[in-house]
Amino acid sequence: MANDAQREVWNAQDVAETWPRTEHISDPGTAPLMEALNLQPGERVLDVACGGGKTTLAAARAIGPTGHVTGVDIPDGMLALAKRRQAEAGFGNIELALADAQIDPFSGGLFDAALASSGSCSSTIRWPH
């Protein structure tokens, strides 16, 4: 199956436990990502490989309650962390889905923009209206 190696690495038992101590390496990339995307209220956003959901929350904050963010990732543990953070933030405009972004279907409809955050190695897409 596609991405077996990634699935194995990110589903390893201790990753979800250690991730909160290491994910700060991605933090410096969040503000430039948000600046590059220039998200607007009401937009629909896809966060590919959302991890613990920090960029998912940043996008949700930018698009506000009329927008929607779909965050997808492959390990249960990472999504559980993202879901805890979503609940703590009280954001109802986020859907977090267990999905391989390359091959699995997921809901969310048409997106205005997508992001994939990995610190200094991040990407954005903005589709024309």
Q: How many residues bind ligand SAM (CB under 6 A)?
A: 21
* Distance set, CA 75 to CA 6, 35, 72 (Å): 10, 28, 10
Q: CA 98 to CA 117: how far, in whole Å?
A: 17
55 touches ligand SAM by CB under 6 A: yes
Q: CB-based burial of residue 121 (10 Å sphere; 0-12 exposed, 13-18 middle, 19+ buried)?
A: exposed
Q: Nearest Cα to 111, choosing from 97, 92, 124?
A: 124
Q: CA 13 to CA 11: how far, in whole Å?
A: 6
51 touches ligand SAM by CB under 6 A: yes
Smallest distance from ligand SAM to CB 42, Å: 23
The residues in 81-120 that bind ligand SAM, with binding defined as CB under 6 A, are 100-102, 117-118
Smallest distance from ligand SAM to CB 50, Å: 6
49 touches ligand SAM by CB under 6 A: yes
Where does this chain touch ligand SAM (CB under 6 A) — which range of 38-46, 59-67, 74-82, 83-91?
A: 74-82
Q: CA 14 to CA 16: how far, in whole Å?
A: 6
Where does this chain touch ligand SAM (CB under 6 A) — which range of 46-54, 57-65, 82-90, 105-113?
A: 46-54
Interface positions with ligand SAM (CB under 6 A)? 3, 6, 10, 23, 26, 49-52, 54-55, 72-75, 78, 100-102, 117-118
